Structure 1
């Protein structure tokens, strides 16, 4: 199984979902990670405030911080390689990177139906 880790900037709590104004992106990430956990897929999430030693002990992340700085967080690491920086993965990216169906995240794959070509405007009585 692939190992994904998300290294986040300093936040007031482990999820960043405290306080008056809730960041919708942090809410989405918490929801995605909870959905994955319920399916037995663990994604480690490290906050610079609460787990600073994880940033120090991970050579790839430590080197990244020394060259790019904390302004480029969050950083998503998959199997020891930084793949996404400055933002969180989209739901589609989570599915692709972890090689799981998008439906595991509570989303349906998008399908499209092509309607047959017709003449006219499509209004039943001919007036639009």
Structure 2
């Protein structure tokens, strides 16, 4: 979630508008978008998050990687911000926490 927030803030700073909605806080956004509403009615909310670009669902069940953001938006990856040195982002699917030898 921290990576996604950083990416979205970096995109905004570079003049690229991306909307992010939470089902709890903005349920009508999910209801009013036909593709999203149909998806939830078919697959359920356990398949969230979903990524929609120009009305088309492109990614389900996970957030896009930085490389996918850059490709989908046709932008240089540098628009997504720099990671701080010493900070490692572990994708959700890896199952790891980023700690070495179980020392956090």
Fold conserved (TM > 0.5)?
yes
List aligned pairs for 1:92-107, cutoff 5 A: 92-106=67-81
**Structure 1 regions of 5+ residues with no counterpart?**
1-25, 108-128
Q: Secondary structure at the match of 1:46?
A: coil
Question: Match for 2:47 among 72, 77, 89?
Answer: 72
State the 1:106 CA deviation: 2.5
Q: Which runs of 5+ in 2 are unaligned?
A: 83-104
CA contact (8 A) 2:47 2:61 kept: yes
TM-score normalised by structure 1 residue count: 0.63
Question: TM-score, structure 2 length as denominator?
Answer: 0.77
- Separation in 2, partners of 1:57, 1:76: 16
Determine if the alignment matches structure 1 residue 81 to structure 2 residue 51.
no
> How many equivalent pairs are there?
82
3-state SS, counterpart of residue 75 of structure 2? coil
Q: Which runs of 4+ in 1 moved over 4 A?
A: none
SS in 2 for 1:47: coil
Structure with more helix by fraction: 2
* 1:52-92 CA-partner distances (Å, limit 9, x unpaired): 00000000000000000000000000110000000000000
The structure with more strand, counted as a fraction of residues: 1
Aligned equivalent of 1:27: 2
Structure of larger gyration radius:
1
* Cα RMSD (Å): 0.7
1 or 2 for the larger relative contact order (CA 8 Å, sep ≥6)? 1
